[in-house]
């Protein structure tokens, strides 16, 4: 069992806590306290053995906050296979000329200072120096500052859509519904070519991918308000949001965008050796072995050499000449072809007239 220490000093309603994690401070009255510590701001309340604690602002670990941003193309090695990352450029560099004005507005709003934490700190300091009653009086101020932050940092994107354009938008949503209904979706973050003499260790595969499961859904980015549904595809640390006129790439408090006239979408079916559960909506087009010999049969030198299905999955690759570069995999074959055809036959003038604009 490990040892730890914890010590508290009290000065009226103010308490200072010392522990191995660092120094924290809290203020309040019996049954309700607001504090700040190594893990961030928190609210603690309760009495008679029933308590509630809520973190309202967590600090990230030092190792994560100081990690440098990875470059766009990075090579790593997995089981002797060189993997090349599939990654977009920095979000702030991705925007095309058609999207620059709205992206600048969103990033300006994202960059505005958040006021409500200042109210929390002011309430704690007032309680420590004056009276615990200042803490309760400051709660309405904190709520007011929070609502003010939402208004100051929000960008409105309102679309004036007539009946003809409404049918086009619905067709646009239908193509995404096909992706949403697929049983499994993955984000592909890296790919690597398997050399001829290494394929026997990788079920005969010519390429390896690094992927992670994702959920495609409808969502609106933080601090953006609109009157339309927005399909969302998570792609690692970023998310793609498909508005009626352009796709936005959002990463934390940074935004980039590419208009559909400048977006390149490739959709192809690919054979994939599946080591996990086989989705119900895919097609099994063959079988192989975890370890194969030169003739494609099982390598008898390996124990527990199980047979693996070869599935037919669809892959969608979103790219632009400004640095957008993201790839996803869908368990249903041909999924995304409708979206690709819709974007390639886009009626830009009609959609352009449908946009009222942002304000």
Tens digits of residue pLDDT in 95-128: 999 899 999 999 999 998 888 777 777 666 665 5
The answer on 121 and 87 residing in a single domain is no
Tokens of 60: 């990230």
Tell me, what's the pLDDT at 241?
97
Q: How many CB atoms lie within 10 A of CB 151?
A: 8
What is the rounded average pLDDT for all residues in the chain? 79
The answer on 149 and 99 residing in a single domain is no
Tokens of 201: 């260790």
CA distance 17 to 316: 52
Tell me, what's the pLDDT at 135?
55
The answer on 137 and 167 residing in a single domain is no
The answer on 102 and 22 residing in a single domain is no
As a whole number, mean pLDDT of residues 205-214 equals: 92
Does any domain span residue 69?
Answer: no
The answer on 166 and 141 residing in a single domain is no
- Please determine, for residue 238, whether its predicted confidence score (pLDDT) is greater than 80: yes
Tell me, what's the pLDDT at 8?
59
Q: How confident is the model at residue 9 (pLDDT cuts 50, 70, 90)?
A: low
- Please determine, for residue 190, whether its predicted confidence score (pLDDT) is greater than 90: yes
Tell me, what's the pLDDT at 38?
56
Does any domain span residue 25?
Answer: yes
Does any domain span residue 278?
Answer: yes
Tell me, what's the pLDDT at 162?
81
CA distance 203 to 256: 40
The answer on 88 and 32 residing in a single domain is no
The answer on 28 and 82 residing in a single domain is no
Does any domain span residue 70?
Answer: no
CA distance 198 to 302: 15
Does any domain span residue 291?
Answer: yes
User: How many independent structural domains does the chain possess?
Assistant: 3
As a whole number, mean pLDDT of residues 331-349 equals: 80
Tell me, what's the pLDDT at 320?
94
Of 273, 266, 278, whose CA–CA distance to 289 is shortest? 273
Mean pLDDT lowest among 58-72, 176-190, 206-220, 325-339: 58-72
Positive/negative CA dihedral, 211, 215, 218, 224: negative
The answer on 200 and 315 residing in a single domain is yes
Q: Are 336 and 174 in contact (CB under 8 A)?
A: no
Q: How confident is the model at residue 284 (pLDDT cuts 50, 70, 90)?
A: very high
Does any domain span residue 1?
Answer: no
CA distance 317 to 319: 6
The answer on 172 and 137 residing in a single domain is no
Tell me, what's the pLDDT at 202?
85
- Give me the domain span that covers residue 147: 115-155
CA 307 to chain centre: 35
Of 147, 60, 149, whose CA–CA distance to 113 is shortest? 149
Tell me, what's the pLDDT at 100?
93
The answer on 200 and 322 residing in a single domain is yes
Tell me, what's the pLDDT at 113?
86
Tell me, what's the pLDDT at 163?
81
54 Cβ contact list (under 8 Å, min separation 6): 42, 43
Buried b (16+ CB within 10 A) or exposed e, 43-58: beeeeeeeeeeeeeee
Q: Are 74 and 82 in contact (CB under 8 A)?
A: no
Does any domain span residue 210?
Answer: yes
The answer on 243 and 96 residing in a single domain is yes
- Please determine, for residue 219, whether its predicted confidence score (pLDDT) is greater than 70: yes
- Please determine, for residue 160, whether its predicted confidence score (pLDDT) is greater than 50: yes
The answer on 125 and 43 residing in a single domain is no
CA distance 83 to 76: 5
pLDDT in tens, 11-57: 555 565 555 555 565 666 666 666 666 556 665 655 554 444 555 54
Does any domain span residue 265?
Answer: yes
CA distance 90 to 321: 13
Percent of the chain residues past pLDDT 90, beyond the cut: 44
Percent of the chain residues past pLDDT 70, beyond the cut: 69
CA distance 198 to 82: 12
Tell me, what's the pLDDT at 37?
62
């Amino acid at each position: 069992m490990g040892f730890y220490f914890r010590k508290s000093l009290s000065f009226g309603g103010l308490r200072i806590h010392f522990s191995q994690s660092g120094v924290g401070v809290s203020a309040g009255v019996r049954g309700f306290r607001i504090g700040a510590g190594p893990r961030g701001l928190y609210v603690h309340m309760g009495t008679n053995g029933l308590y509630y604690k809520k973190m309202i602002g967590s600090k990230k670990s030092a190792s994560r906050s100081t990690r440098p941003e990875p470059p766009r193309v990075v090579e790593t090695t997995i089981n002797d296979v060189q993997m090349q990352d599939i990654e977009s450029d920095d979000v702030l560099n991705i925007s095309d000329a058609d999207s620059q004005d709205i992206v600048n507005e969103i990033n300006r709003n994202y960059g505005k200072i958040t006021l409500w934490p200042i109210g929390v700190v002011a309430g704690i300091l007032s309680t420590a120096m004056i009276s615990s009653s200042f803490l309760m009086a400051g709660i309405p101020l904190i709520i007011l500052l929070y609502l003010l932050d939402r208004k100051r940092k929000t960008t409105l994107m309102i679309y004036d859509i007539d009946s003809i354009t409404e049918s086009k938008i619905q067709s646009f949503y239908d193509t995404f519904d096909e992706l949403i209904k697929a049983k499994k979706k993955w984000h592909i973050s890296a790919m690597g070519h398997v050399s001829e003499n290494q394929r026997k260790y990788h079920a005969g595969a010519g390429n390896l991918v690094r992927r992670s499961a994702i959920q495609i859904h409808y969502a609106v980015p933080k601090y953006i308000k609109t009157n339309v549904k927005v399909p969302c595809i998570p792609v690692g640390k970023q998310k793609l949001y498909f508005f009626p006129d352009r796709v936005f790439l959002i990463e934390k408090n940074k935004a980039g965008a590419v208009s559909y006239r400048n977006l390149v979408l490739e959709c192809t079916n690919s054979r994939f050796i599946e080591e996990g559960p086989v989705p119900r909506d895919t097609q099994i087009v063959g079988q192989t072995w975890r370890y194969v010999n030169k003739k494609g049969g099982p390598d008898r030198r390996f124990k527990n050499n199980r047979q693996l299905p070869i599935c037919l999955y669809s892959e969608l690759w979103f790219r632009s000449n400004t640095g957008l570069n993201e790839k996803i995999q869908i368990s249903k074959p041909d999924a995304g072809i409708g979206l690709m055809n819709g974007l390639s036959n886009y009626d830009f003038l009609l959609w352009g007239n449908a946009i009222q604009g942002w304000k």
